């Protein structure tokens, strides 16, 4: 199969060697407040905190050709016009390379002896993207050429920007000062922020009006100004403001010139917005920002600081197994993706427009599971933000906007699984940090401070929200949807355009919007899986009576599942609103679903009757394919109105029998839990991106990160990936490989070591920083088993069980675990 690049593990980079990847292969810059998406041809855009409400540059989704809008450098060299990243001009290059690294991207192009190397990154604690362009004349004669930069401003609200043209074509405003172009639309009135694009050198001209630069009937690939060979110093007045610098450059043979461009974002206090004239923007802060990175030396220092920050983060958990691909995923890319999903939830990717979704309650809580070890304090802050959007009865807003941190009432709530993920995420945070204090912290309900209660109260209501909303079989009500947004047992509809998640079916309007009959076995199993974390917390706090009461609810739920939701060889998926089984051998299609199975196995529901192994074997038999586990089988081949969105997808795509990599992880965990390390690893390696690098042609999306879905066996494009980057797959597969297969997990009282590995492995080593100490772990597998600790020693002393204690004194500790 065709190769598009390779991993450079030493530099923690993916090196792309052809600009025409099967889909744009992107990277993310920024991890704090300023974010950029950047593709391997420099497409993408930037925003501050919120991809919808504070969009800085424009991007054209669903465009022809693909991936239009970006930070482009145009070089005009004696009539030949080219971009270092090939696109958008698409002049064939003599050399092209894109290195996506940890928070930076380096794109290098060469044409006719001129080399252009562009490094893009967002420095630490900085609200801007730094772009360093190094131009080198590699030929033997002097070279004179022209350089044009390009960025197109978005008028801040990305939704409004791409719809409200009658207004927006008249509001765009800019200012130019020396080599800096300022974007100040609406700054005169209600906004307190502006953006700028600057270069650390004199310029020979500029353009700020898009039509002047590109030409009304031209495109990014043939801008008029570049064709004309000069800028026109155009001044945007409405229409579409842009920022383009123009510079004439001459380089002697062997000579290099380095230019530093900065795309920055500034907020100003109301009383400092303007200079004395009340019109000119006060640029004090902008000047200070520019000053910070206006030389190559400062850029080098910023990059070094960024790399050091990533080395530190990735140093917290590190493994050395005999499989390079596992090492690469665990040590670099999977953790990197966990940071990105933590920051952006499901908001902005090349499959999420940044307009549609903010921070998802279930999504972000799950993201924390894969991220919490990196920066527990940021996880804590996120937990508080999430819990603040919870309602007093334990339900919650399904999404909130990162800029306002307020629950999104367009989407509303009543997703039955939401509260349970918070039990898991708060549990994961306490296990990682040992910070039991979070449970006492006052956290509002519905963002209303007057309704604040301790975080523990939020966990109580989360747990009892399930218990208080049971259906006829004593199983949790499915409500609008559970984890599967597309299994809508109440919000089903027969009119195009009605949202399956928010539509209120008149049938159930009187009952509060959803059926009081439809039940989710998935939520039941998630409850029995997450519930023990809540019980563990209560016990630790000495609340034994409450712990016993909660445990009784968990036990009762397990009984109810065995009584009404075990189908003989696997667990049912649900009961629909007529009381009919979903995901049963009795069904015509969709006889088995993946979602409840892993959690049921890990909760040991019906284990004494062999339900766990029967279930796992059924998954292997009915859901396993060469590219991963499909979500359900057989795929739905017609529209089942009573199930909602799921059967609107053609078979093999998305929730209708696609390979949803997110819940593949639950099965990987369950196989590892059951001690079947070989199966766990088989499933892991089928979907882990580094293992699919050789089929990039088919797989399409980036070989260094997970996508949400790979087309399933019923699809004509079986094996093709979509929805890369922003998916719960990142967190859950990190949990699966690190905590279940490699078996190293934070626990309330220490670090648990309980691997479940392929029998062929001789063992592995790992380093884990945990609560201030460093654990150097060696796992030995002399008997070639998958699971079971024969002996555990810490600093030469034997330890009972599989939990290594916390070392409050810090330091390095040698842990040796022998399997057998």
Name which of 86 and 483 has its Cβ closer to ligand GLC. Answer: 483
Question: What's the min distance (Å) between Cβ of 81 and ligand GLC?
Answer: 41
Question: What's the min distance (Å) between Cβ of 691 and ligand GLC?
Answer: 21
Helix pair angle (544-564, 521-540), 10° resolution? 160
Question: What's the min distance (Å) between Cβ of 476 and ligand GLC?
Answer: 16
- Binding test (CB under 6 A) with ligand GLC, winner from 54, 143, 346, 813: 346
Name which of 157 and 645 has its Cβ closer to ligand GLC. Answer: 645
- Binding test (CB under 6 A) with ligand GLC, winner from 152, 323, 363, 546: 363
CA distance to 14, 324, 678, 779, 780, per residue, from 760 (Å): 29, 15, 9, 13, 12
Question: What's the min distance (Å) between Cβ of 279 and ligand GLC?
Answer: 44
Name which of 56 and 623 has its Cβ closer to ligand GLC. Answer: 623
Name which of 162 and 522 has its Cβ closer to ligand GLC. Answer: 522
DSSP state of 91: P
* Helix (H/G/I), strand (E/B), else coil: 51: coil
- Binding test (CB under 6 A) with ligand GLC, winner from 362, 382, 473, 713: 362
The site map against ligand GLC for 674-713 (x = CB under 6 A) is ----------------------------------x-----
Name which of 332 and 646 has its Cβ closer to ligand GLC. Answer: 646
Name which of 730 and 816 has its Cβ closer to ligand GLC. Answer: 730
- Binding test (CB under 6 A) with ligand GLC, winner from 360, 434, 644, 689: 360
Question: What's the min distance (Å) between Cβ of 408 and ligand GLC?
Answer: 12
Question: What's the min distance (Å) between Cβ of 190 and ligand GLC?
Answer: 30
Q: Report the alpha-carbon distance of residue 133 to residue 106 in Å, rounded.
A: 10
Total residues belonging to the chain: 820
Judged by CB under 6 A, the chain residues 237 through 266 that form the site for ligand GLC are none
Window contacting ligand GLC (CB under 6 A); options: 327-335, 357-365, 541-549, 665-673:
357-365
Window contacting ligand GLC (CB under 6 A); options: 75-83, 115-123, 355-363, 551-559:
355-363
Question: What's the min distance (Å) between Cβ of 779 and ligand GLC?
Answer: 33
Long-range contacts of 530-538 (CB under 8 A, 24+ apart): 530/420, 530/421, 530/423, 530/424, 530/427, 531/423, 531/463, 531/557, 533/423, 533/424, 533/427, 534/423, 534/427, 534/459, 534/462, 534/463, 536/427, 536/748, 537/426, 537/427, 537/430, 537/439, 537/456, 537/459
DSSP count for the chain of H helices, then E strands = 21, 42
Q: Are the beta carbons of 627 and 688 closer than 8 angstroms?
A: no
Name which of 131 and 663 has its Cβ closer to ligand GLC. Answer: 663
Which of these is catalytic: 127, 363, 417, 485? 485
Q: Are the beta carbons of 338 and 372 closer than 8 angstroms?
A: no
Question: What sections of 541-634 are H helices per DSSP?
Answer: 544-564, 595-602, 611-622
Known catalytic residue at 485:
yes
Question: What's the min distance (Å) between Cβ of 730 and ligand GLC?
Answer: 11
Tokens of 13: 């980079």
Window contacting ligand GLC (CB under 6 A); options: 101-109, 298-306, 359-367, 690-698:
359-367
- C-alpha radius of gyration, the chain, whole number: 28
The site map against ligand GLC for 465-494 (x = CB under 6 A) is ------------------xxxx--------
Q: Which residues pair with 258 in a beta bridge?
A: 134
Question: What sections of 389-474 are H helices per DSSP?
Answer: 418-433, 455-467
Judged by CB under 6 A, the chain residues 27 through 56 that form the site for ligand GLC are none
Name which of 70 and 360 has its Cβ closer to ligand GLC. Answer: 360
Judged by CB under 6 A, the chain residues 639 through 678 that form the site for ligand GLC are 645, 654-655
Question: What's the min distance (Å) between Cβ of 526 and ligand GLC?
Answer: 12
CB atoms within 10 A of CB 40: 32
Q: Report the alpha-carbon distance of residue 324 to residue 335 in Å, rounded.
A: 16
* Tokens 């497409």 -> residue: 43
Q: Are the beta carbons of 799 and 766 closer than 8 angstroms?
A: no
CA distance to 658, 683, 684, per residue, from 624 (Å): 11, 8, 12
Q: Report the alpha-carbon distance of residue 155 to residue 55 in Å, rounded.
A: 7
- Binding test (CB under 6 A) with ligand GLC, winner from 364, 515, 625, 727: 727
**Residue 482: closest CA among 558, 424, 421, 533:** 421
Q: Report the alpha-carbon distance of residue 173 to residue 187 in Å, rounded.
A: 9
Q: Report the alpha-carbon distance of residue 753 to residue 794 in Å, rounded.
A: 11
Question: What's the min distance (Å) between Cβ of 406 and ligand GLC?
Answer: 19
Judged by CB under 6 A, the chain residues 75 through 134 that form the site for ligand GLC are none
The site map against ligand GLC for 587-626 (x = CB under 6 A) is ----------------------------------------
Residue nearest to ligand GLC (CB): 485
Name which of 42 and 491 has its Cβ closer to ligand GLC. Answer: 491
Phi-psi region of 568 (alpha: psi -120 to 50; beta: other; left: phi over 0): left
Name which of 40 and 425 has its Cβ closer to ligand GLC. Answer: 425
Tokens of 295: 């030389």
Residues 6+ apart with CB under 8 A from 470: 476, 477, 519
Name which of 538 and 709 has its Cβ closer to ligand GLC. Answer: 709
Name which of 483 and 570 has its Cβ closer to ligand GLC. Answer: 483
Judged by CB under 6 A, the chain residues 285 through 304 that form the site for ligand GLC are none
Residues 6+ apart with CB under 8 A from 373: 316, 317, 432, 746, 770
Window contacting ligand GLC (CB under 6 A); options: 360-368, 385-393, 666-674, 713-721:
360-368
Question: What sections of 692-743 are H helices per DSSP?
Answer: 696-699, 729-734
Name which of 401 and 708 has its Cβ closer to ligand GLC. Answer: 708
Q: How many of the chain's residues bind ligand GLC (CB under 6 A)?
A: 13
Judged by CB under 6 A, the chain residues 557 through 586 that form the site for ligand GLC are none
* Tokens 């400062």 -> residue: 298
* Tokens 């902008």 -> residue: 286
Question: What's the min distance (Å) between Cβ of 357 and ligand GLC?
Answer: 6
Question: What's the min distance (Å) between Cβ of 223 and ligand GLC?
Answer: 36
Question: What's the min distance (Å) between Cβ of 631 and ligand GLC?
Answer: 9
Q: Report the alpha-carbon distance of residue 739 to residue 729 in Å, rounded.
A: 15
Question: Which residues are known catalytic residues?
Answer: 485
> Footprint of ligand GLC on this chain (CB under 6 A)?
346, 360, 362-363, 483-486, 645, 654-655, 708, 727
């Amino acid at each position: 199969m065709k190769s598009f690049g390779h991993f450079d593990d030493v530099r923690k980079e993916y090196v792309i060697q052809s600009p025409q990847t099967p889909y744009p292969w992107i990277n993310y810059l920024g991890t704090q407040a300023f974010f950029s998406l950047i593709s391997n041809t420099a497409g993408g855009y930037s925003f501050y905190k919120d991809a919808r409400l504070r969009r800085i540059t424009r991007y054209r989704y669903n465009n022809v050709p693909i991936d239009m809008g970006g930070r482009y450098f145009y070089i005009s060299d004696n009539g030949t016009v080219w971009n270092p990243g090939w696109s958008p001009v698409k002049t064939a290059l003599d050399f092209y390379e894109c290195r996506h690294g940890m928070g930076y991207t380096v794109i290098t192009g060469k044409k006719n002896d001129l080399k252009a190397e562009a490094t893009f990154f967002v420095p630490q604690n900085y609200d801007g993207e730094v772009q360093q362009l190094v131009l080198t004349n590699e030929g033997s004669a002097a070279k004179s050429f022209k350089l044009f930069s390009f960025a197109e401003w978005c008028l801040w609200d990305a939704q409004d920007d791409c719809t409200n043209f009658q207004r927006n074509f008249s509001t765009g405003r800019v200012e130019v000062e020396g080599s800096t172009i300022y974007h100040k639309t609406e700054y005169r009135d209600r906004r307190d922020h502006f953006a700028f694009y600057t270069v650390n050198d004199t310029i020979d001209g500029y353009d700020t009006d898009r039509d002047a630069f590109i030409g009304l009937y031209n495109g990014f690939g043939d801008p008029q100004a570049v064709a004309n060979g000069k800028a026109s110093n155009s001044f945007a007045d409405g229409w579409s403001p842009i920022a383009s610098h123009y510079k004439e450059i001459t380089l002697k043979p062997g000579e290099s010139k380095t230019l530093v461009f900065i795309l920055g974002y500034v907020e100003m206090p109301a009383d400092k917005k303007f200079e004395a004239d009340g019109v000119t923007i006060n640029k004090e802060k902008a000047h200070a920002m520019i000053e910070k990175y206006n030389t190559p030396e400062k850029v080098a220092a910023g990059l070094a600081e960024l790399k050091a920050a990533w080395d530190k983060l990735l140093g917290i958990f590190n493994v050395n197994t005999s499989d390079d691909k596992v090492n690469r995923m665990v040590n670099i890319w999977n953790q990197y993706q966990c940071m990105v999903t933590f920051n952006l939830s499901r908001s902005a990717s090349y499959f999420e427009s940044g307009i549609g979704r903010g921070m998802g309650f279930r999504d972000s809580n799950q993201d924390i599971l894969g991220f919490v070890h990196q920066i527990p304090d940021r996880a804590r802050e996120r937990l508080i933000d999430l819990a603040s959007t919870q309602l007093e009865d334990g339900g919650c807003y399904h999404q909130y906007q990162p800029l306002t941190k307020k629950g999104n009432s367009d989407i509303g709530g009543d997703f039955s699984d939401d509260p349970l993920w918070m039990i898991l995420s708060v549990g994961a945070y306490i296990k990682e940090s040992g910070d039991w204090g979070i449970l006492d912290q006052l956290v509002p309900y519905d963002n209303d401070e007057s309704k604040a209660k301790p975080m523990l109260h939020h966990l109580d209501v989360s747990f009892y929200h399930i218990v208080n909303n049971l259906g006829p079989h004593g199983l949790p009500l499915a409500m609008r949807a559970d984890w599967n947004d597309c299994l809508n047992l109440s919000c089903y509809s027969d009119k195009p355009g009605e949202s399956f998640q928010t539509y209120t079916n008149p049938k159930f309007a009187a009952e509060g919007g959803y059926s009081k009959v439809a039940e989710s076995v998935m939520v039941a199993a998630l409850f029995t899986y997450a519930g023990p974390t809540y019980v563990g917390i209560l016990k630790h706090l000495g609340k034994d009576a409450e712990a016993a009461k909660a445990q009784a609810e968990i036990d009762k739920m397990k009984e109810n599942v065995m009584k009404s939701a075990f189908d003989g060889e696997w667990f049912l998926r649900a009961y629909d609103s007529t009381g009919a089984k979903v995901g049963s051998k009795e069904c015509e299609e969709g006889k088995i679903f993946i979602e409840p199975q892993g959690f049921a196995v890990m909760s040991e529901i019906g284990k004494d009757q062999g339900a766990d192994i029967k279930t796992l074997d059924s998954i292997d038999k009915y859901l396993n394919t060469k590219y991963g586990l499909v979500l359900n089988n057989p795929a739905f081949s017609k529209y089942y109105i009573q199930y909602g969105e799921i059967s609107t997808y053609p078979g093999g795509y998305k929730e209708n029998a696609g390979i949803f990599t997110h819940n593949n992880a639950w099965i990987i965990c369950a196989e590892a839990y059951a001690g079947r390390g070989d199966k766990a690893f088989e499933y892991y390696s089928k979907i882990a991106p580094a293992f699919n690098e050789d089929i990039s042609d088919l797989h399409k999306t980036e070989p260094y990160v997970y996508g949400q879905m790979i087309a399933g066996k019923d699809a004509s494009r079986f094996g093709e990936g979509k929805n890369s980057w922003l998916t719960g797959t990142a967190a859950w597969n990190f949990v699966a490989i690190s905590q279940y297969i490699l078996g190293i997990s934070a626990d309330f009282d220490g670090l648990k070591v309980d691997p479940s590995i392929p029998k062929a492995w001789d063992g592995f080593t790992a380093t884990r920083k945990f609560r201030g100490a460093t654990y150097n772990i060696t796992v030995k597998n002399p008997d070639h088993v998958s699971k079971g600790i024969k002996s555990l020693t810490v600093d030469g002393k034997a330890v009972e069980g599989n939990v290594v204690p916390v070392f409050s004194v810090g330091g390095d500790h040698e842990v040796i675990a022998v399997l057998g």
